[in-house]
Amino acid sequence: MEAPPRAVLAKKYEDGLIVEEGDVIRLRLEFTGRPRPSVAWLHEGELIVHQPEGRRQVDIGADWTSLRVQQTTRADRGEYSVKLESDLGVDSASFLVTVASTLTNCCDLLIDIDTCIDSRVS
């Protein structure tokens, strides 16, 4: 029986995902559709190219797809989306990802501010 593609977003992603800089972003989406739809991952509207030995790895199973982004930086924050497409239709799902600075970076910033203030006082 044929059916249009349908994305099934897990509840754990509804409020977005927060990772620390340098950590790994792991996103997974279940989907349905017959025939099996084509799958495309995007970041801020730009197509993500699978890099087998690189930072961005896309896997596609019979009814799921996943994205793994290693060694995250602040540039990796934003909206990730999956577009599912077949002759019977199109569906998509989005994930909001925040990449937080590590505590070490925050402490470095505070030290820099203190140094700046101390230099102005002197």
Average pLDDT over residues 15-20: 94
What are the extents of the domains in the chain?
3-121
In the block, tokens 């590590």 appear at 102
* CA separation for the pair 108, 53 (Å, rounded): 32
d(CA 24, CA 17): 11
8 Å CB contact between 17 and 98: yes
Whole-prediction pTM: 0.81
- CB-CB contact of 72 with 25 (8 Å): yes
Residue-wise pLDDT tens digits, 53-110: 899 999 999 999 999 999 999 999 999 999 999 999 999 999 999 999 875 544 555 5
The CATH homologous superfamily to which domain 3-121 belongs is Immunoglobulins (2.60.40.10)
